[in-house]
Amino acid sequence: MQTERGWVQNDFGWDLLGGESGQQGHIGELDEATLLTLTIAGVDEAGRGPLAGPVYAAAVVLDRARPIAGLADSKILKEADRDALAIEVRSTSLAWFIASASVEEIDSLNILNATMLAMRRAVEGLSIIPHLAQIDGNRAPRLNCRVQTVIGGDASIPAISAASILAKTARDAELVRLHAEYPHYGFDRHKGYGTAFHVESLYKHGPCAAHRRSFAPVRMALEGKPMPDLATLASAENDAFGQGVAKTGVKKTAARKASVGKTSAAKDAAPSAWPTSPDPAVASVDTAPAAKAPKAPKPRKSRRAVAS
């Protein structure tokens, strides 16, 4: 059995998964029979790329005796199907919890660390303590249980799919609420992602309290700089707006044409490709301290990495 190479956060920075034997972060392997004996929580996030609103995360412990038909990556489901599945997940799961990190936390910690914080809150909020947390992608927060990162897990692991659905439906509902409070930006339409309409509205009306000041288009609007070219922003590898465009898949906008690749490209970038880590004194509370992260290897979609 082979293990995938990836990255996981610890108290000191980033650990390489699947490294040489004896290396810090070396991974033990779990076979399917072992997995069936464990209480497993699926974990996923929603809203990492938008220019506005909190980032959400959910953790779900499914009941193996009550499988849910139709679970899939929330991004490919129709809204009505997502809403119906969210109700079923809440009613049939052994445990579930939805958490978030605020716009203020995103701006102070950066979006990656805020996402890790939301995931940690989701797992810690469960009424059942899991043996294992299966997390979509190749990064994980520090948790008091074993961690397994699964690239593409929101499409292949039912518990992660369920978490993806809960996180997205909860965040979408929050953006609809924000639209009622700030109707100029169309939050109910694009859910905070950087569509052409959103960026134009941002420059016309100025940022509101729900906008992420650490994201380039919002920061540029605050500084009175000319409205950014959407294609240029989307092509910037490390730009949060570009990642948002790649993940949103918005149609009929300049941003759509300038997308920097598939959703996984933004999720699975090396740690160094994310915004600079915050002050270690702040980050160490819930996230890894600032440190030079090594370059991440190219992920292999068909295998998983397990951290003990």
Q: Which residues line the annotated binding site for a divalent metal cation?
A: 44-45, 136
Distance CA 156, CA 119 (A): 19
Q: Specify which residues 7 forms β-bridges with.
A: 16
Give the number of other Cβ atoms within 10 Å of residue 167's Cβ: 31
Structure tokens at 242: 């570009």
Distance CA 56, CA 265 (A): 20
Hey, is 185 helix, strand or coil?
Answer: coil
Distance CA 166, CA 71 (A): 11
Chain-centroid distance of CA 11 in Å reads 20
Residue pair 6/19 in contact (Cβ under 8 Å)? The answer is no
Q: Which amino acid is at 214?
A: S
Q: Which residues make up each annotated binding site?
A: 44-45, 136
First to last CA, the chain: 17
Residues in the chain: 308
Structure tokens at 117: 């914080």
